[in-house]
Structure formats: structure tokens, C-alpha cells
């Protein structure tokens, strides 16, 4: 009954490889996100999708490409991995309840990516 789940939890790969991280939410939310947490624990937004439409695309190398096949899934593909891509990547989801003016976000357990 996990609300936001992402796989894999750990990913170790060599420089130059292409990898994907998958994310699924079963909360019925309309917005999904990818965040990157660096070695100093700082969390920064990378992408946001609302109803499968890209609405936030921060300054991220174009080697990173999000894909949202439906509202419940948001995957992250990374091409030509570099050492500096090593980080923890978090998926999250939220829903804007217009009547209450409320948006609360929930996070997956994170994927620790290590590029060697």
C-alpha cells in the first residue's frame, strides 16, 4: 500500500551508461516531481508534471529526460552518466485541492545513484 514508490532503491553504474529510475504513485494525485539531493543534503526540484504535461523544467542537463506515460507514473531517464550525477533522486507527488487551497506533497524512498 506504498503511496509513492520508486525503483530501484540503489543503482551503481559506470560512466557513460544510460539508466532509468521508475516512479509510481497510487494516491490519485495530478502532479508528480523529480528532486535531486546532493551530497550536502540540499534538495532541488528538477522536473514537474501536471496531468502528464511538463510544467517545471529547471536547469538540468538535457541528458536527463522525464517521461510520464500516465498520471500515476513519472520515470527519469539519464543518458551518458557522469560522475557528477551521483546523488539521491526523489520522486514525489501532490494534488491541488482548489476548494481548500491545499497542496501537500509526498515523497518516495529515494534512489541512490552512484556513478563509478
Partner 1 sequence: GIQVEQSPPDLILQEGANSTLRCNFSDSVNNLQWFHQNPWGQLINLFYIPSGTKQNGRLSATTVATERYSLLYISSSQTTDSGVYFCAVIDTGRRALTFGSGTRLQVQP
**Selected binder of partner 1 within 15, 56, 80, 82 (CB under 8 A):** 56
**Selected binder of partner 1 within 41, 62, 69, 70 (CB under 8 A):** 41
Instruction: Tell me the per-residue interface mask from 71 to 90 with partner 1, x by CB under 8 A, - otherwise.
Output: -----------------x-x
In this structure, what C-alpha cell is assigned to residue 87?
A: 546523488
Q: How many CA atoms lie within 13 A of 16 on its CB side?
A: 0
CA distance 55 to 102: 18
Sole residue written with cell 529510475: 21
What values do phi and psi take at 55, rounded to 5?
-120, -20
Is residue 10 within the footprint of partner 1 (CB under 8 A)? no
Interface residues toward partner 1, by CB under 8 A: 31, 33, 40-45, 48, 50, 55-56, 88, 90, 92, 94, 96, 101-107, 109-110, 112
Amino acid at each position: 500500500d506504498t503511496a509513492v514508490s520508486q525503483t530501484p532503491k540503489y543503482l551503481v553504474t559506470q560512466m557513460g551508461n544510460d539508466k532509468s529510475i521508475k516512479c509510481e504513485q497510487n494516491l490519485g494525485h495530478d502532479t508528480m516531481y523529480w528532486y535531486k539531493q546532493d551530497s550536502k543534503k540540499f534538495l532541488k526540484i528538477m522536473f514537474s508534471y501536471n496531468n502528464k504535461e511538463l510544467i517545471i523544467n529547471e536547469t538540468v542537463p538535457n541528458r536527463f529526460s522525464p517521461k510520464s506515460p500516465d498520471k500515476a507514473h513519472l520515470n527519469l531517464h539519464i543518458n551518458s552518466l557522469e560522475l557528477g550525477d551521483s546523488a539521491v533522486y526523489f520522486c514525489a507527488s501532490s494534488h491541488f485541492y482548489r476548494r481548500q487551497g491545499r497542496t501537500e506533497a509526498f515523497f518516495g524512498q529515494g534512489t541512490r545513484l552512484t556513478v563509478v
